[in-house]
């Protein structure tokens, strides 16, 4: 048995050391770290014909980051040219391209390559990556960077297919369609609608916003960055570093500490909720509209947003907040449960994405040792991964944003920490000439038990989340989107976990 395995190893060598799946910021971060570690034998696979992930796909009116740009960017590649504190989406797309060029990733990109499945060849200790066109490539390691919020979800409302006028999902915006002077319906009031609604309201004739669950809104301290400050950032990067430190701390306080340590820090989250309530009061004049916009679940149960113009849009005479449930969609409009029909010219679905469901996390099949399929395993046995990065029976396979990978403060902090973790595994394997790297089952299981214990202190179990309709929760009632830890802990554990937690052979 051992002899035949040895023969197979010599018979089949992988074409690439690493295959990265996805070219959003996670894939780009992975590529940068590989090159910085001297690994050049890798390709970056992308189903679309361009890079940039979220910032390629989302270009609806008003799109911008809602985490300050100084925080929402790589720590090692600060951008002194952001035009605003919260940069518009196109600048993020340009920044992605800048990083790809500056760090020499363009030759590694393979567009129009939609991965259908990856299969572990245990004899040869490599992964086969099959794309939808039937092509197969091989790699020693796979780094999966496919993101969570990539597959748009249209609402499953009766009659939606009968709507005879233009219908758009925000993640597939069609800029050739003008909304000027039209009657427009927006379904959904998540972070996307929060940016879209105030941007289109002044142009349209009538805007009906269909809200099922209100969203917590924190004031957004946005402003243009004056050219003097940009020059200072460019000439003296330490000044931008200080700005980043300040925005990191404030985002950590609002988006992480109160959410993760709710049980211990109730006053913090109550203070945040009070600020949001006061903000709503300052912005919306009509008490009834205010009541409808007030969440009846705790801050953090679902993704809150930052905005200083969304709430006050409901003071406009051409904007209506509709909270009666939707009964059906007709060829020309929307009928609510009270029987009223609103005729509209354009229907906009700001209805979000598939998240924790088999077929989305991950978006392709992953067959590990003994043919175990990762999506099915997660769906049946709960989402779990050691530090969000690795799962037993899936050797040499790493996820940048696996279950419980990210803290709420910054996607980029998550990418950098996850890549620190993954690079420790890959570089140790190379040093030891190991071709099989696998998280030890007992370490993984103990970590998952710890996560589940820690979950009990989070907002998800301590702040009336039942009515929040949050995509953070999966069908098991777990909340595997967020890592129940501070950003500092994420940083430390990804860089200093005992390397013996992995089995190298």
- List of residues contacting ligand NAP (CB under 6 A): 65-67, 149, 155-157, 187-193, 195, 210, 212-213, 303, 326, 350-352, 469, 471
Nearer CB in complex with ligand NAP: 350/437: 350
Pairwise CA distance, residues 80 & 291, whole Å = 41
Backbone angles phi and psi of 140, in degrees to 5 = -70, -45
Nearer CB in complex with ligand NAP: 96/187: 187
Pairwise CA distance, residues 70 & 89, whole Å = 14
Q: How far is the CB of 356 from ligand NAP (least distance, A)?
A: 12
Closest CA to 28 of 121, 125, 108: 108
Nearer CB in complex with ligand NAP: 157/204: 157
Burial of 103 (0-12, 13-18, 19+ CB in 10 A): buried
Nearer CB in complex with ligand NAP: 352/484: 352
Pairwise CA distance, residues 230 & 236, whole Å = 10
Nearer CB in complex with ligand NAP: 412/502: 412
Q: How far is the CB of 195 from ligand NAP (least distance, A)?
A: 6
Q: How many helices (H) and strands (E) does the chain have?
A: 14, 20
Q: How far is the CB of 187 from ligand NAP (least distance, A)?
A: 5
Nearer CB in complex with ligand NAP: 254/326: 326
Nearer CB in complex with ligand NAP: 231/464: 464
CB atoms < 10 A from the CB of 278, how many?
Answer: 11
Q: How far is the CB of 167 from ligand NAP (least distance, A)?
A: 14
Query: 253, 110 in Cβ contact below 8 A?
Result: no
Q: Which two tokens stand for residue 146?
A: 């496919």
Contacts of 377 (CB under 8 A, 6+ apart): 391
Q: How far is the CB of 361 from ligand NAP (least distance, A)?
A: 14
Nearer CB in complex with ligand NAP: 214/392: 214
Nearer CB in complex with ligand NAP: 185/225: 185
Q: How far is the CB of 389 from ligand NAP (least distance, A)?
A: 21
From first CA to last CA, the distance across the chain in angstroms is: 17
Q: How far is the CB of 308 from ligand NAP (least distance, A)?
A: 14
Nearer CB in complex with ligand NAP: 196/451: 196
Strand, coil or helix: 208:
strand
Closest CA to 418 of 23, 26, 18, 22: 26
CB atoms < 10 A from the CB of 277, how many?
Answer: 15
Q: How far is the CB of 488 from ligand NAP (least distance, A)?
A: 22
How much of the chain is helix, strand and coil, in % rounded to 5? 35, 20, 45
Nearer CB in complex with ligand NAP: 43/209: 209
Q: How far is the CB of 190 from ligand NAP (least distance, A)?
A: 2
Pairwise CA distance, residues 402 & 22, whole Å = 14
Pairwise CA distance, residues 99 & 74, whole Å = 9
Q: How far is the CB of 21 from ligand NAP (least distance, A)?
A: 20
Query: 297, 460 in Cβ contact below 8 A?
Result: no
Sheet with strand 206-210: strands edge to edge: 167-169, 346-349, 183-187, 206-210, 319-322
What one-character DSSP code corresponds to residue 155?
A: -
Q: How far is the CB of 157 from ligand NAP (least distance, A)?
A: 5
Strand, coil or helix: 403:
coil
Q: What is the CA radius of gyration of the chain?
A: 24
Q: How far is the CB of 114 from ligand NAP (least distance, A)?
A: 22
| Strand residues in 35-187 grouped as ranges (E) | 42-45, 109-110, 115-121, 126-131, 136-144, 167-169, 183-187
Nearer CB in complex with ligand NAP: 19/209: 209
């Amino acid at each position: 048995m051992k002899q035949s395995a040895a023969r197979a190893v010599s018979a089949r060598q992988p074409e690439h050391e690493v295959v990265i799946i996805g070219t959003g910021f996670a894939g780009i971060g992975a590529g940068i770290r590989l090159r910085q570690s001297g690994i050049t034998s890798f390709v970056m696979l992308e189903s679309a014909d361009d890079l940039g992930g979220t910032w390629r796909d989302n270009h609806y009116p008003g799109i911008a980051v809602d985490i300050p740009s100084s925080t929402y960017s790589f720590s090692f590649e600060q951008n002194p040219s952001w035009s605003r504190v919260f940069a518009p989406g196109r600048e993020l797309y340009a920044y992605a391209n800048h990083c790809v060029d500056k760090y020499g990733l363009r030759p590694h990109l393979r567009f129009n390559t939609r991965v259908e499945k990856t299969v572990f060849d245990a004899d040869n200790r490599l992964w086969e990556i099959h794309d939808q066109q039937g092509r197969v490539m091989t790699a020693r390691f796979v780094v999966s960077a496919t993101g969570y919020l990539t597959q748009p979800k249209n609402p499953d409302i009766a009659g939606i297919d009968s709507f005879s006028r233009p219908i758009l999902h925000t993640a597939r915006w069609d800029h050739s369609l003008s909304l000027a002077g039209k009657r427009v319906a927006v379904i959904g009031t998540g972070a996307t609608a929060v940016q879209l609604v105030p941007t289109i309201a002044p142009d349209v004739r009538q805007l009906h916003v269909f809200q099922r669950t209100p969203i917590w809104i924190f004031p957004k301290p946005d402003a243009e960055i004056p050219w003097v400050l940009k020059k200072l950032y460019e000439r003296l990067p330490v000044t931008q570093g200080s700005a980043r430190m300040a925005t990191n701390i404030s985002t950590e306080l609002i988006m992480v500490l109160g959410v993760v340590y709710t049980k211990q820090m109730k006053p913090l989250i109550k203070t945040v909720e009070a600020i949001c309530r006061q903000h709503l009061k300052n912005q919306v004049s009509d008490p009834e509209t205010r009541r409808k916009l007030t969440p009846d679940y705790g801050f953090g149960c679902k993704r809150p947003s930052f905005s200083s113009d969304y709430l006050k849009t409901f003071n406009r005479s051409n904007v209506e907040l509709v909270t009666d449930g939707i009964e059906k969609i007709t060829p020309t409009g929307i009928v609510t449960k009270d029987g009223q029909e609103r005729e509209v010219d354009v229907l906009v679905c700001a209805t979000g994405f598939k998240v924790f469901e088999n077929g989305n996390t991950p978006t392709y099949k992953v067959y590990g040792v003994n043919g175990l399929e990762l999506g099915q395993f997660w769906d049946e046995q709960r989402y779990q991964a050691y530090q969000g990065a690795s799962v037993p029976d899936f050797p040499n396979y790493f996820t940048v944003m696996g279950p419980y990978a990210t803290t709420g403060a910054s996607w980029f902090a998550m990418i950098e920490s996850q890549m620190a973790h993954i690079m420790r595994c890959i570089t140790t394997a190379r040093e030891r000439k190991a071709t099989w790297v696998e998280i030890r089952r007992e370490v993984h299981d103990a970590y998952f038990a710890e996560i589940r214990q820690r979950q009990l202190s989070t907002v998800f179990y301590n702040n009336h989340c039942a009515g929040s309709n949050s995509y953070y929760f999966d069908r098991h009632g777990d909340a595997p989107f967020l890592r129940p830890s501070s950003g500092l802990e994420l940083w430390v554990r990804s860089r200093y976990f005992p390397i013996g937690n992995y089995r190298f052979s």
